[in-house]
C-alpha cells in the first residue's frame, strides 16, 4: 500500500499530500504548483530550485554545481533530484503563467470569405395534418436551405418529436458538414468556432463567431506538458513510457478545455455552442493532442503516424464543447515542419504570388519556409532550448522577473524585466539583446570572444570603463555581470558567460544555415529575398535591430522584414471560416519540398560560415551609433 506523507508548501502555506518515495518535483507539480522544468526532471537544467532544509543526505553533484556553500547549508535543492521520504516544508518559486500576456498580437489580415463547415439556421416547419403526413425528420430536412441531403444524428432523432412540438415548430438547427447535430427551441445565438495553436511552450485559442467571422475572445496558457520537459524530444521520450502518451494527451486537452472554459465565462458563450475547431501546431504536439504515438518522429528518418489533415468528433478527445463538433487538425509537411508552419504559409499567402519570400518561425525548433515563384521549400533547424532558457547559465523562460531587454548607452548597461520584478534570469529576447549590444560596443568580437579589460585597452576602448568592470573570470570562464547579486531576486548575480555567447552563436548559426541551404538550393543569395516574415511569439518579442546585428535573420533591411505575429493561429482561423483553406493547406503541405538538414553534407559549412558576428550593412536600416563601435 502506498504510504502518504505531507508537504507544507511555502509561500502559499498549503499542506498537500505526496507518495512516500516519489520525486519532490513530481509531488510539487502534482499539487498544482508551477515551477520550472526545462529538462523534464533529468537533473540537467538546474531550474527546479526549491528550499527544503528538512531534506537529509549529501547534496548531489548537480546541486553542488548549482548552489553556493551558503545556499546548500540553507537547504537549497533541485527538486527533481530529491525524494520525499517524510513530512517536509518546501519553499518554491512559482512561475506566473505568462503565456496569456506574451500572446503575439494578431495581424490584421485581408477579409476572408465565410464558408465554415458548421452552420446554424432558424427554420419554421409546417405542422403536419392529414394532407401533409411527412415524417418529422423529412419535414425538417426539407425546411433547411439545401437540406435534403442532410443526415440527422441519432440522438437528434430521438429528441426531435418533443423538440419541434414544444417549440411550436420554430427551431434552431445546427449542422456540422452534412449532419444535423442539434435541434433546439428557436434562439438567435450564433454558432461558435475555435482556432487553436498548440505550441511546445504555450497553447492559444481564439473563439470566432461563425456567422460574422469576427473574433469573440482569445486566450492562452502555458502548455502543461512542460512538466515533462521544455523540448519536443523530452515529450517524445515521455510518450514512450507506460502511460506517458495518455498523460501528455490529457495535459494538452486539459489546457484547451481550460482556455475555452475561461473564454466562455468571459464572453457568456455556452460551451455547447462551440461546434467547430481547427488546430495547428508542430507535428509532435498534434500527435499528442490526437493521442497518436510520436515515437518515430524522435529518431531518423523522423516519420510520424500521419501528416495528413485529420477530422474527428470532439467526443473522441474529451473536449468540453458540443460532442458532435468537428475537430479538424491541419496537415503537416514533415516530422519537424508542422501544421503551424502550414498555417503561417496560409496566413502570409507565402506561395500565392511571384517573388521570393521567407517565413521564419524562430524557437526551440525553428521552422523555415521559402517560396520562390510559387514553389515552396521547407526545412527545420534544431536550434535547441537556449531561447527558452535551456543551456544558458542564467537563462529562464519568459516569466515574471525574466530580463527581457538589455541596452548599452554611453558605456552604461540597463535592462528591463517582465512585470518590473526583481531580475531572476535572462529570457530569449534578452540573450539576443546581450549578444547584439556587446558586439556593437566591442566587448564581444566578431568570433564571439568576450574580451577582458586588457584586450579592450589594447583596442583603444578605454571609454567604456564601467562596462569592463562588469567583466570577471570565474572558474576559468569569462562572464559579464548583467545584474548584481544585491539587485537580483535570487541573491546571486545574473551573468552572461562566454559559454552562453557561444551557445547563442550555435543557435543563430543553425537557423541561418537552414535558411542558407534553402536559398542555395534555388540558386539565390539572401539579398534576393523580397520579404521575410517573422512568425511566432519569439519573433514578436525579439528586437529586430538585435536580430539583424547578430545575424539571426538575413541582412535584407528592416523595411523588408515583417513581424506577422501568431500567423499559425491566423491560418487556423482561415481554415475555420472557409473550408477552401483546408484544401489549400492540404495542397501546400503536399507540394512543399522538404529539405532534411540532418542529411545535408553542406550543413556544417553553412553553420561555420554563419557563426561569426558581422556588422549589419548600411542599407539594413539598423541604427549603429559610430561613437560606440569599436570594430570599424
Residue closer to ligand FES by CB (options 76, 415) is 76
Residue closer to ligand FES by CB (options 42, 83) is 42
Site string for ligand FES, 237-266 (x = CB under 6 A): ------------------------------
| Shortest Cβ 47–ligand FES spacing (Å) | 5
Query: CB burial class (10 A; 0-12, 13-18, 19+) of residue 111?
Result: exposed
Residue closer to ligand FES by CB (options 47, 508) is 47
Site string for ligand FES, 165-204 (x = CB under 6 A): ----------------------------------------
> Alpha helices of 489-623 — where are they, by DSSP H?
498-521, 536-541, 544-549, 567-577, 580-591, 603-610
From 39-47, 211-219, 366-374, 594-602, give the range in contact with ligand FES by CB under 6 A: 39-47
Identify residues 8-27 at the interface with ligand FES (CB under 6 A). 25
Q: Find the Cα–Cα–Cα–Cα dihedral 26, 27, 30, 34, rounded to 10°.
A: -80
Residue closer to ligand FES by CB (options 388, 578) is 388
Q: Which of 18, 45, 494, 553 binds ligand FES (CB under 6 A)?
A: 45
Residue closer to ligand FES by CB (options 35, 171) is 35
Binding of ligand FES at residue 95 (CB under 6 A)? no
Q: Which of 28, 41, 307, 370 binds ligand FES (CB under 6 A)?
A: 41
| Shortest Cβ 201–ligand FES spacing (Å) | 15
Binding of ligand FES at residue 37 (CB under 6 A)? yes
Residue closer to ligand FES by CB (options 60, 631) is 60
Binding of ligand FES at residue 90 (CB under 6 A)? no
Binding of ligand FES at residue 48 (CB under 6 A)? yes
Q: Which of 7, 24, 38, 438 binds ligand FES (CB under 6 A)?
A: 38
CA distance 171 to 137: 13
Judge whether 534 and 561 are in contact, CB under 8 Å: yes
CA distance 579 to 147: 18
Q: Which of 34, 47, 77, 606 binds ligand FES (CB under 6 A)?
A: 47
| Shortest Cβ 8–ligand FES spacing (Å) | 21
| Shortest Cβ 224–ligand FES spacing (Å) | 15
Q: Which of 27, 78, 90, 196 binds ligand FES (CB under 6 A)?
A: 78
Residue 601 CA, chain-centre distance (Å), reads: 30
Show Cβ contacts of residue 492 under 8 Å, excluding neighbours closer than 6 positions: 68, 485
Identify the CA nearest to 432 among candidates 507, 487, 380: 507
| Shortest Cβ 7–ligand FES spacing (Å) | 17
Judge whether 254 and 304 are in contact, CB under 8 Å: no
| Shortest Cβ 52–ligand FES spacing (Å) | 13
Residue nearest to ligand FES according to CB distances in the complex: 80
Residue closer to ligand FES by CB (options 46, 119) is 46
| Shortest Cβ 231–ligand FES spacing (Å) | 11
Furthest C-alpha separation in the chain: 105
Residue closer to ligand FES by CB (options 393, 594) is 393
Q: Convert 102-135 into a string of H (helix), E (strand) and C (coil).
A: CCCCCCCCCCCCCECCEEEEEEECCCCECCECCC
Residue closer to ligand FES by CB (options 26, 167) is 26
Residue 265 CA, chain-centre distance (Å), reads: 24
561-563 and 531-535 beta bridge pairing: parallel
Distances (CA, A) of 308 to 122, 352, 615: 35, 21, 43
* Phi (first) and psi of residue 363, to 5 degrees: -170, -160
CA distance 410 to 464: 8
Binding of ligand FES at residue 482 (CB under 6 A)? no
HSE (side-chain half, CA atoms, 13 Å) at 92: 26
CA distance 173 to 160: 11
Binding of ligand FES at residue 80 (CB under 6 A)? yes
Residue closer to ligand FES by CB (options 47, 405) is 47
Show Cβ contacts of residue 142 under 8 Å, excluding neighbours closer than 6 positions: 134, 148
CA distance 207 to 192: 7
Residue closer to ligand FES by CB (options 45, 286) is 45
Instruction: Scan for cell 521552422, then name that residue.
Output: 367
CB atoms within 10 A of CB 584: 20
Q: Using the 8-state DSSP alphabet, how is residue 52 labeled?
A: -
Residue closer to ligand FES by CB (options 160, 230) is 230
Query: Radius of gyration over alpha carbons of the chain, in Å?
Result: 27
Judge whether 329 and 589 are in contact, CB under 8 Å: no
Residue closer to ligand FES by CB (options 27, 78) is 78
Q: Which of 24, 29, 39, 260 binds ligand FES (CB under 6 A)?
A: 39
Residue closer to ligand FES by CB (options 80, 196) is 80
Q: Find the Cα–Cα–Cα–Cα dihedral 305, 311, 315, 316, rounded to 10°.
A: -20
Cell of residue 611, nine digits: 557563426
Residue closer to ligand FES by CB (options 24, 180) is 24
Residues paired with residue 334 on neighbouring β-strands, in sequence order: 337
Using CB under 6 A, count the residues that bind ligand FES: 14
Binding of ligand FES at residue 277 (CB under 6 A)? no
From 33-41, 372-380, 432-440, 591-599, give the range in contact with ligand FES by CB under 6 A: 33-41
From 42-50, 148-156, 381-389, 580-588, give the range in contact with ligand FES by CB under 6 A: 42-50
Cell of residue 464, nine digits: 567604456
| Shortest Cβ 32–ligand FES spacing (Å) | 17
Judge whether 180 and 140 are in contact, CB under 8 Å: yes
Peptide bond into 301 cis (omega under 30): yes
Q: Which of 8, 43, 85, 147 binds ligand FES (CB under 6 A)?
A: 43
Query: CB burial class (10 A; 0-12, 13-18, 19+) of residue 177?
Result: middle
Instruction: Scan for cell 570603463, then name that residue.
Output: 465
326-329 and 274-281 beta bridge pairing: parallel
Q: Which of 7, 24, 33, 46 binds ligand FES (CB under 6 A)?
A: 46
User: Which residues are near ligand FES by CB under 6 A?
Assistant: 25, 37-39, 41-48, 78, 80
Amino acid at each position: 500500500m502506498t504510504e502518504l506523507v505531507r508537504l507544507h508548501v511555502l509561500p502559499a502555506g498549503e499542506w498537500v499530500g505526496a507518495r512516500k518515495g516519489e520525486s519532490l518535483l513530481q509531488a510539487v507539480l502534482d499539487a498544482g504548483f508551477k515551477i520550472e522544468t526545462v529538462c523534464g526532471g533529468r537533473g540537467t537544467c538546474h531550474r527546479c530550485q526549491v528550499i527544503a532544509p528538512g531534506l537529509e543526505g549529501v547534496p548531489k553533484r548537480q546541486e553542488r554545481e548549482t548552489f553556493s556553500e551558503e545556499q546548500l547549508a540553507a537547504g537549497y535543492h533541485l527538486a527533481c533530484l530529491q525524494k520525499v521520504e517524510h513530512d517536509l516544508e518546501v519553499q518554491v518559486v512559482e512561475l506566473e503563467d505568462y503565456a496569456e500576456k506574451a500572446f503575439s498580437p494578431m495581424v490584421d489580415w485581408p477579409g476572408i470569405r465565410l464558408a465554415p463547415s458548421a452552420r446554424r439556421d432558424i427554420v419554421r416547419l409546417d405542422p403536419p395534418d392529414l394532407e401533409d403526413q411527412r415524417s418529422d425528420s423529412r419535414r425538417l430536412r426539407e425546411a433547411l436551405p439545401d437540406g435534403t441531403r442532410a443526415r440527422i444524428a441519432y440522438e437528434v432523432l430521438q429528441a426531435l418529436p418533443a423538440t419541434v412540438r414544444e417549440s411550436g415548430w420554430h427551431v434552431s438547427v445546427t449542422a456540422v458538414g452534412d449532419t444535423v447535430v442539434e435541434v433546439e427551441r428557436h434562439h438567435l445565438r450564433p454558432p461558435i468556432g475555435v482556432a487553436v495553436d498548440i505550441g511546445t511552450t504555450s497553447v492559444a485559442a481564439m473563439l470566432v463567431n461563425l456567422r460574422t467571422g469576427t473574433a469573440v475572445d482569445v486566450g492562452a496558457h502555458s502548455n502543461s506538458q512542460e512538466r515533462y520537459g521544455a523540448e519536443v524530444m523530452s515529450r517524445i521520450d515521455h510518450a514512450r513510457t507506460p502511460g506517458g502518451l495518455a498523460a501528455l494527451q490529457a495535459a494538452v486537452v486539459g489546457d484547451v478545455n481550460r482556455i475555452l472554459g475561461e473564454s466562455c465565462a468571459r464572453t457568456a458563450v455556452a460551451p455547447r455552442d462551440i461546434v467547430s475547431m481547427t488546430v495547428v501546431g508542430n507535428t509532435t504536439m498534434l500527435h499528442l493532442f490526437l493521442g497518436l504515438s510520436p515515437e518515430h518522429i524522435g529518431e531518423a528518418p523522423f516519420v510520424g503516424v500521419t501528416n495528413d489533415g485529420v477530422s474527428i468528433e470532439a467526443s473522441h478527445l474529451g473536449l468540453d464543447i458540443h460532442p458532435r463538433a468537428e475537430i479538424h487538425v491541419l496537415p503537416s509537411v514533415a516530422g519537424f515542419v508542422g501544421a503551424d508552419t502550414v498555417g503561417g504559409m496560409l496566413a502570409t499567402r507565402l506561395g500565392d504570388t511571384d517573388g521570393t519570400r521567407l517565413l521564419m518561425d524562430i524557437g526551440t525548433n525553428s521552422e523555415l519556409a521559402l517560396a520562390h515563384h510559387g514553389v515552396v521549400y521547407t526545412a527545420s533547424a534544431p536550434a535547441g532550448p537556449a531561447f527558452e532558457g535551456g543551456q544558458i547559465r542564467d537563462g529562464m523562460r519568459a516569466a515574471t522577473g525574466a530580463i527581457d531587454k538589455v541596452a548599452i548607452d554611453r558605456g552604461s548597461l540597463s535592462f528591463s524585466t517582465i512585470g518590473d520584478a526583481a531580475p531572476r534570469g535572462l529570457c530569449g529576447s534578452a540573450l539576443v539583446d546581450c549578444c547584439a549590444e556587446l558586439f556593437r560596443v566591442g566587448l564581444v568580437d566578431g568570433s564571439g570572444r568576450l574580451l577582458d579589460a586588457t584586450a579592450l585597452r589594447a583596442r583603444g576602448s578605454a571609454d567604456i570603463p564601467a562596462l569592463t568592470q562588469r567583466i570577471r573570470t570565474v572558474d576559468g570562464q569569462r562572464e559579464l555581470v548583467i545584474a548584481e547579486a544585491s539587485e537580483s531576486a535570487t541573491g546571486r548575480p545574473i551573468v552572461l558567460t562566454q559559454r552562453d555567447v557561444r551557445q547563442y552563436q550555435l543557435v543563430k548559426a543553425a537557423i541561418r544555415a537552414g535558411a542558407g541551404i534553402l536559398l542555395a538550393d534555388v540558386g539565390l543569395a539572401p539579398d534576393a529575398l523580397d520579404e521575410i516574415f517573422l512568425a511566432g511569439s519569439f519573433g514578436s518579442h525579439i528586437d529586430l535591430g538585435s536580430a539583424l546585428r547578430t545575424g539571426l535573420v538575413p541582412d535584407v533591411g528592416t523595411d523588408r522584414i515583417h513581424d506577422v505575429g501568431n500567423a499559425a493561429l491566423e491560418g487556423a482561423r482561415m481554415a475555420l471560416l472557409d473550408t477552401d483553406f483546408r484544401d489549400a493547406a492540404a495542397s501546400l503541405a503536399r507540394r512543399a519540398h522538404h529539405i532534411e538538414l540532418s542529411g545535408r553534407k553542406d550543413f556544417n559549412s553553412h553553420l561555420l560560415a554563419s557563426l561569426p558576428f558581422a556588422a549589419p550593412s548600411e542599407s539594413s536600416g539598423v541604427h549603429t551609433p559610430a561613437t560606440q563601435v569599436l570594430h570599424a
